[in-house]
A and B are shown apart, each in its own frame.
Chain A
């Protein structure tokens, strides 16, 4: 049995002592066989829980985080001091009601908030992994989560939910462990990463790699950090999380602290200043190598490819109930990709609901105050809980 422990972690360089919540260390007797063909051992999974597991162990909800998310879904983030990234959705009386459900959220494999990733120390060398960390996939992340649930004594989860890369993990969970997943809510995602999305990720990665502070990924011990590259990666990615309409509504062509343009290259426009802020705050909480590894994991995601190219085969005979949610203005994971999953589930005869929510907030909508999304999640989860006899 793996043991819970509190090892010392290498945090993003600016916050080396941040709290990482709870953690399970998987020793040599619990290796993790990765898709890359290598084994990761030992390794650690850091996680948070909210609510109480009932006696029947039937009320667990697994929350999967997105690319730059972490395990602090519903509690204050120890690095930023901000509320949990899904504080609007998870909590007492909220759609994922922690008075009723036991919520588990783990930092993904390759992450930088306590789960083993490129910033952690490689026990074989005593040095940070850097680029010697193996490439991980969405399926590897899910395998690690399954091992965590084993340790927590949770055989079956009432629901797996997540948006964006979290949604990819949800689909992978339903495909890899159909008997462990009573219901699944993949939000704003797709069964495979598109060429356009891979392209945006590559721009971000190249920005990091081009930063001289990156040092071939070995910046940790030199007290350096490719902050500029990582900030540019974040800025480019952040544009893809919004919509043209939302940018126009929020910023338009408004100037920042000035009445006329400067005829220079400073941040004249509010949108520039906003993006700079996004980039700057991001590097304080995120590891650049983790960004490389996790974007790669998303790029490699193609669920149908593991099932002879037929997505429906991934869900054959599935008894999981699905609720797929997309947003009208999301051009990163547009409705058509979400609907493609719904159609595959229909073709497999699975029990599926699909809701498209009207909003101009783009991909980010899944993290924001979207009453229709809250009502959908609440209604769906209530009906699943009632069906399973969870009070």
Chain B
């Protein structure tokens, strides 16, 4: 098994042994496979790309081809211990609705996303006057699938609006390492390349 992407490794570390997990935007199933192998997790995936879904199913992972923007409504409340949204929220049409559905479906929700407040991105726009293209966000503005990028501060605001309580917050550094962060401080929003949040709904007991 190849090494997991750093944000996925950080999420994997947050998942309890034997949990029921829904990975929304599960890609090629790397996280689900890792969780099944290392934590006996009962994992399910939802993935938009047909090739990715076929690859997952051919590897024996239970994955449904579908769209986070339209299909999450069909999942009953609280049927998963953890709902995961890794590097996907910025590509959804309605991040707010998707996040609310995840908070409803999962007792806990893990979200990772690239931080658009990172200093390189800010400097790029300031210095060059062009839409930023970085190592992690390597698309010209007209080709990017990332239609709803946000900063860590923006995400905190959305989480507050969505009635989410932050259980854990990790900053993903340029070195690929994750560190606990004070999510509302200005530092991580400037220096973290990405962030990983573990949330739960205020409404859930």
Interface residues of A (CB under 8 A from B): 321, 323, 339, 342-343, 346-347, 349, 351-358, 372, 375-376, 378-380, 382-384, 386
Additional A-B contacts beyond A346-B64, A379-B59 (8; CB < 8 A): A346-B74, A347-B75, A352-B64, A353-B62, A353-B63, A354-B66, A378-B58, A380-B57
A349 x B65 contact (CB < 8 A): no
What are 27 A-B contacts defined by CB distance under 8 Å? A342-B64, A342-B66, A346-B44, A347-B75, A349-B79, A351-B42, A352-B62, A352-B64, A353-B56, A353-B64, A354-B63, A354-B66, A355-B53, A355-B54, A356-B65, A357-B50, A372-B54, A375-B54, A375-B58, A376-B54, A376-B57, A378-B58, A379-B59, A379-B60, A380-B60, A382-B60, A386-B60
**8 Å CB contact of B62 from A321, A357, A382:** A321
Output the least CB separation between B143 and chain A (Å): 22
Output the least CB separation between A384 and chain B (Å): 8
Output the least CB separation between A188 and chain B (Å): 15
**8 Å CB contact of B53 from A321, A346, A354:** A354
Residues on the B chain within 8 Å of A354, using CB: 53, 63-66
Output the least CB separation between A219 and chain B (Å): 47
Residues on the A chain within 8 Å of B57, using CB: 323, 353, 355, 376, 379-380
Which residue of B is nearest A383, CB measured? B60
> Chain B interface residue count: which class?
20 to 34
Give Cα A376 to B61, complex, Å: 11
Residues on the B chain within 8 Å of A356, using CB: 50, 53, 65
Residues on the B chain within 8 Å of A346, using CB: 44, 64, 74-75
B71 within 8 Å of A by Cβ?
yes
Output the least CB separation between A83 and chain B (Å): 25
Q: Which of B42-99 contact A (CB under 8 A)?
A: 42, 44, 50, 53-54, 56-66, 71, 74-76, 79
Output the least CB separation between B82 and chain A (Å): 15
A383 x B59 contact (CB < 8 A): yes
Output the least CB separation between A185 and chain B (Å): 10
Residues on the A chain within 8 Å of B63, using CB: 353-354
Q: Which 4 A-B pairs have the closest CB atoms?
A: A383-B60, A379-B58, A343-B74, A354-B64
Output the least CB separation between B62 and chain A (Å): 5
Residues on the A chain within 8 Å of B42, using CB: 351
Output the least CB separation between B192 and chain A (Å): 34
Give Cα A323 to B53, complex, Å: 12
Give Cα A379 to B60, complex, Å: 6
Which residue of A is nearest B22, CB measured? A346
Residues on the B chain within 8 Å of A355, using CB: 50, 53-54, 57, 65
Give Cα A28 to B82, complex, Å: 55
Which residue of B is nearest A384, CB measured? B60
Residues on the A chain within 8 Å of B75, using CB: 346-347
Listed residue (A376, A384, A386) with the most chain B CB atoms within 10 angstroms of its CB: A376
B54 x A343 contact (CB < 8 A): no
Give Cα A353 to B65, complex, Å: 8
Which residue of B is nearest A323, CB measured? B57
**8 Å CB contact of A347 from B50, B59, B61, B76:** B76
Give Cα A352 to B66, complex, Å: 13
Which residue of A is nearest B46, CB measured? A346
Output the least CB separation between A206 and chain B (Å): 38
